[in-house]
Amino acid sequence: MKLVIISLFTIGLNMMSCAEKVDKTQEKPNIILIIADDQGFGDLGYYGNPNIKTPVLDSLAERSVRFDEFLVNPVCAPTRSALMTGKYSMSTGVHDTYRGGAMMATEEVTIAELLKEANYKTGMIGKWHLGDNYPMRPQDQGFEYTLNHLSGGIGQYGDWPNTLKRDSSYFNPILWNNGKQLQTKGYCTDVFTKAAMEYVEENKDNPFFLYLSFNAPHGPLQLPQEYYDMYKDTDPDEGLIDQGNPYPKVTEHSRENARKVYGMVTNIDDNLRLLFNKLESLGIEENTLVIFMTDNGPQHPRYISGMRGRKGSVFQGGVRVPSFWYYPKMFKEARDIKAPAAHYDILPTLAELAGAKIPVGLEIEGESLMPLLTKAEDNFPNRIINRYWSRTAPVRYRNVSTRKGNLKLVGVGQDDEGNDKFELFDLSKDYFEQNDISGENEAIVKELKSEMDIWLTTMESSKHIVESPKPIIGTTFENPVMLNQNDAHFEKVVGIKKDFIYWDAKIDETKSFDITIHLDKGLNHNGNLELVIGDDSRKMEFEGKGQTQLSFKNILLNKGDVKIMPKLYVERNGTLVYVYPFYLEIKG
């Protein structure tokens, strides 16, 4: 492996030299945007972790322009919608990771759509997590080639083709290739990388944009045995826990999680070696921009460079991620950029680099990073950067932050007396966010809270938060339509322990449909099913004979918006128990 790394580095330097001699400024660059899932800032050797093996990523970092403070959302789907659109995630309709909060409105203009208009080939491989039905799928949002799983992770309940595999869902997963199911063979990261190499080879003669979105090292923490064996005797905290910086509380369970995560990351690293070697062998690495980043902080307690918080938190540990930009043709000096940058800056940056036009009137939050990347400028204006996450959108003032320069105000909920509580940090002096200075800086708190209120009000009233994006049923683009749990909504009902599950959808035209409720296990008890469709409903009683589906035939659905709620009960010990459907199949 060491020889490969040296080869890549040497060739990179040679290509830089060639680029200085040969003017190819009119040639559009290829773009590969690589994102790992739940890989934290400290899950790299480059950032001081001696217990993880990432030689390829470390080499990439050493050769890249690095954003020292690259800020994302605290969780995955919001980060992905922001980088795809150049906007705050909530304005796109995305505010959560499930329960209907991870669907991006089809009206949004994506990087893929912009680059496609600029004559790029566009491909998306891996995790999408921005809506699994038409018109929100990656192929509906500008990607000509797609190979993706459903939901937020392979084997999650929304990813119903793989859910039933339980502890082996990452192996031989069923994926969706341009909208059609494809049975694959191998470990998921290996499968995605192989597809990426094939895509690169097929499109080497065209400018292409490849969004390579690994689902690893997101849980469930499944990995090939050889990668687990690399770390099975490793102490993930060795040399780190006593280094003097804040360190999270860890247990043996979290250490074991770290070992598995490290194995999954090393597997990504090995796969990227294969991909980078492919670029080299095809002779296109000089004119290919490679971006590597992650989508949020680590899910489990482990080394995170001393930062406070992790996935789900607006503290630095949840939102600061690695961001390496390697483009030997143009970015000729490896260096760190100190100016804070963010996920929503990716769209305008790639648009400028590729010569793509941003539509007149399209309002985006991001700014092009090209002045920083090319050393035309050293810094950005003092921008306001807001971050937020909770299961609902939004809640004042819980897990929300507003940053201006180095001053960062964090809403942390309420105190014991029910008053809104805030903490203020000066990141230039307290990067680990340990010392709340709100008490002696009331004017600054008031100023930043005013900015926070303006932003929250804007997000609360944004079109796609007020009216959540909906799948469209009855088109030629998707038939049958499979509605999964990730994109479902849930409704609390008095007297019922579980929330009722339902889907909001649009019917494309008035016609009859067959609707099938699928279960993840056989029905072995008698019960009844009521399918509520708007103001109408259908009912049936059934005998539990191990069946895994119940169907209604020829149901007339009228064009327009509709709420579909299956109420399934089984009788257990004389009591009716509400059961969630696995997914709904609607065929017209």
Domain of 330: which CATH number?
A: 3.40.720.10
**Closest of 146, 152, 188 to residue 169, by C-alpha:** 188
For the segment 455-512, what is each residue's pLDDT rounded down to a tens digit? 999 999 999 999 999 999 999 999 999 999 999 999 988 877 789 999 999 999 999 9
Domain membership of residue 377 (yes or no) is no
Q: Are residues 53 and 137 in the same domain?
A: yes
Answer whether residue 371 shows pLDDT above 80. Answer: yes
| Residue 4 vs residue 257, higher pLDDT | 257
Listed in order, strand segments (DSSP E) in 418-545 are 420-426, 472-473, 481-484, 489-491, 500-507, 511-523, 527-533, 536-542
Same domain, 69 and 204: yes
- Domain contains 374: no
On whether the CB atoms of residues 351 and 357 are closer than 8 A, the answer is: yes
Does the pLDDT at position 24 exceed 70? no
Examine the domain organization and report whether 100 and 53 are in the same domain: yes
pTM of the model: 0.94
User: What average pLDDT does the segment 88-106 reach?
Assistant: 96
Distances (CA, A) of 279 to 196, 242, 282: 11, 41, 5
Q: Which domain does 516 fall in, by range? A: 472-587
Q: What are the pLDDT digits (tens) for 197-223?
A: 999 999 999 999 999 999 999 999 999
Q: Are residue 179 and residue 130 in the same domain, yes or no?
A: yes
Task: Give how far the C-alpha of residue 169 lies from the chain's centroid of Cα atoms, to the nearest Å.
Answer: 19
Which of 343, 359, 375 lies at the terminal end of a domain, its last residue? 359
**Predicted pLDDT at 395:** 84
Task: Give the confidence band of 22 by pLDDT, cuts at 50, 70, 90.
Answer: very low
Are 481 and 77 in contact, with CB atoms under 8 Å apart?
A: no
Q: pLDDT-based confidence at 136, cuts 50/70/90? A: very high
Q: pLDDT tens digits for 337-346? A: 999 999 999 9
pLDDT tens digit sequence for 155-212: 999 999 999 998 999 999 999 999 999 999 999 999 999 999 999 999 999 999 999 9
The dihedral built from the CA positions of residue 326, 332, 338 and 343, taken in this order, carries a sign that is negative
Look at residue 378 and tell me if it is in a domain: no
Above 50 in pLDDT, residue 519? yes
What pLDDT band is residue 282 in, cutting at 50, 70 and 90?
very high
Question: Does some domain include residue 506?
Answer: yes
Based on the fold, state whether residues 75 and 142 are members of the same structural domain. Answer: yes
CA nearest neighbour of 499 among 392, 359, 339, 354: 392
Taking residues 338-364, report their average pLDDT: 96
* pLDDT tens-digit map of 562-588: 999 999 999 998 899 999 999 999 999
Which residue, 410, 444, 462, sits at the end of a domain? 462
Domain stop point among 429, 462, 495 = 462
Are 518 and 408 part of one and the same domain?
Answer: no
In a domain, 49, yes or no: yes
Average pLDDT over every residue of 414-442: 95
Q: How far apart are CA 258 and CA 250, in angstroms?
A: 10
CATH number at residue 550: 2.60.120.260
Structural domain contains residue 551: yes
Which amino acid does the sequence have at 194? K
State the pLDDT confidence band at 243, using cuts at 50, 70 and 90. confident
Which of the 8 DSSP states describes residue 171?
A: B
Cα 82 to Cα 94: distance, rounded to the nearest angstrom? 9
Say yes or no: 48 and 184 in one domain.
yes
Element (H, E) at 274: helix 252-282
- pLDDT, mean of residues 234-241: 94
Shared domain for 403 and 504, answered yes or no, is no
Angle at 486 between CA 480 and CA 487, to 5 degrees: 60
Q: Are residues 526 and 403 in the same domain?
A: no
Q: Report yes or no on 467 lying in a domain.
A: no
Helix (H, G, I), strand (E, B) or coil at 110: coil
Q: Is the pLDDT of residue 20 over 80?
A: no
For the chain, the domain total comes to 3
Mean pLDDT, all residues of the chain: 93
- pLDDT (0 to 100) of residue 135: 98
Q: Is 164 found in the same domain as 43?
A: yes
Residue 291 lies in a domain: yes
Q: What average pLDDT does the segment 361-382 reach? A: 92
Taking the CA atoms of residue 95, residue 96, residue 101 and residue 104 in that order, the dihedral angle to the nearest 10 degrees is 60
- Work out the pLDDT band at 21, boundaries 50, 70, 90: very low
Average pLDDT over residues 14-39: 67
Say yes or no to pLDDT of 138 above 90. Answer: yes
Average pLDDT over residues 219-238: 97
| Residues 398, 533 within the same domain | no
User: How confident is the model over 279-302, as a mean pLDDT?
Assistant: 97
Say yes or no: 310 and 389 in one domain.
Answer: no
Cα separation of the two ends of the chain: 53
Q: Is the pLDDT of residue 27 over 70?
A: yes
Instruction: Write the CATH number for 446.
Output: 3.30.1120.10
